[in-house]
Amino acid sequence: MADLGKIQGLIGQYNAQLTTLKELFLADGKIDQEEQDQLDKIEGLINSLGDLLEDKIDSAQAEAGEDEEAGAPPAELESNQKTIKASVGRGGTNDKADVQLVQELLKAKGHNLAVDGLIGPGTIGEIKAFQQAAFGWADGRIDPGGQSWQALNGAASASSDDSSSSSDSSSATDSSEEGGVSGKDFSHPNAGNVSLSYGSKAVKLNSRAEKLLKSILAACGMTGATVTSTIRTYHDQARITMTQTLPGRGAKTVRKWYGQDVLDACRKYSGNIQAFADWWQKRDQNRGRVSSKHLSNQALDVVPNGNRSVFADKVAGLVPVSGSGVRRIIKKGQMNEPVDHVEFTFKVTG
């Protein structure tokens, strides 16, 4: 548990440093390449620490076999806040008041955990259990205004962030030249002037995801982008890993992205993509989370037709904004991503 605390503390420090640097760099109205490189380095450290934290939590859960927090006495909330101000869970900011609020809401839904404001294997395990039951996937993290938060606090049903509700977002247009969040998702008045093209690995976005992406691009002063990848089946994931990632990027990348067991299976089932896909799907089902956000249908890889740093910064700026519809970005170059990898809080295709 001490290691978990140290890692979580570092994540909090880097998140604070990232916010401070962004404000400092934006003082002159722009971020130059040297400044962007510094921000990318810090974000890369945050993502790496988040992955390390998850590995340690999974190991702790496997060794304990039960919720380590279940026997702890409950604690009262330090404030009367009714919403979280920052992310809670795996790789999150995990401010004490936010964690306590999430714990209270989980406990009210019948989950067995302490309400003490401390993040650990028990709380993250219950977040994952809640997500798995509600959506069929689990990443162990709850973001302000995101799908998991809305389902947890009762502000919306678990399906309200689904693409079927895309018609509701049509009324969320902000007249500001900068765009804004009004009702559901970030929107921009010039979104209709943006066009999208699709690569061979991409499925066409649904209307809600398309509008959000176009709004982000419009806010950056861009008129188009190529979506290179969206939803994947396990057969797609297995095929890409076996025929492209392993031979093109090497065993080290496959191990870093997915783990030694996936690398071993890729080699074991060499030439038999379907057998590899079947193994991979069963593996993810057993551990209770998907290996890639592309499998949960919430991710898209984007190549904007303008300055990608401007686009990436805009997406990153929307992540902490409640109701923006943006959950995360892994910028080009971070975690070996070849392009900017964007995750929304809802399904992006279908």
- For residue 227, the model assigns a pLDDT of 92
Q: Residue 21 has which token pair? A: 């640097």
DSSP 114-151: --SS--SHHHHHHHHHHHHHHHS---SEE-TTSHHHHH
| DSSP E strand stretches across the chain | 88-89, 141-142, 180-181, 186-187, 195-201, 224-229, 299-304, 326-330, 340-344
How far, in Å, CA of 313 to CA of 222, rounded?
A: 14
Strand 195-201 and strand 186-187: pairing?
Answer: unpaired
CB 188 within 8 A of CB 215: yes
E-strand spans in 254-332? 299-304, 326-330
Confidence of residue 305 (pLDDT cuts 50, 70, 90): very high
> Phi and psi for 205 in degrees, rounded to 5?
-70, 150
List strands edge to edge, sheet with 299-304: 195-201, 224-229, 299-304, 340-344, 326-330
Would you give the DSSP letter of residue 326? E
Average pLDDT, the chain: 76
**Kind of pairing, strands 224-229 and 195-201?**
parallel
Q: What is the pLDDT of residue 181?
A: 64
The angle, 0 to 180 degrees and rounded to 10, between the axes of the packed helices 308-318 and 207-219 is 120
Q: Across 55-59, 173-177, 285-289, 309-313, which has the greatest mean pLDDT?
A: 309-313
28 Cβ contact partners less than 8 Å away, ≥ 6 residues apart: none
pLDDT in tens, 84-128: 988 888 877 888 889 999 999 998 888 888 898 998 888 988 898
Residue 8: band (very low, low, confident or very high) from pLDDT cuts 50, 70, 90: low
On the question of pLDDT at 144 being above 70, the answer is: yes
Q: Is the pLDDT of residue 156 over 50?
A: no
> Would you state the pLDDT for residue 172?
33
**CA-to-CA distance for 91 and 87, rounded, in angstroms?**
8
- For residue range 220-259, what is the model confidence (pLDDT) as tens digits? 999 999 998 886 678 878 888 898 888 888 898 888 888 8
- Average pLDDT rounded to a whole number, residues 143-166: 58
How many residues comprise the chain?
350
| Per-residue pLDDT at 76 exceeds 80 | no
Q: Which range, 70-79, 135-144, 265-274, 324-333, is most confident?
A: 265-274
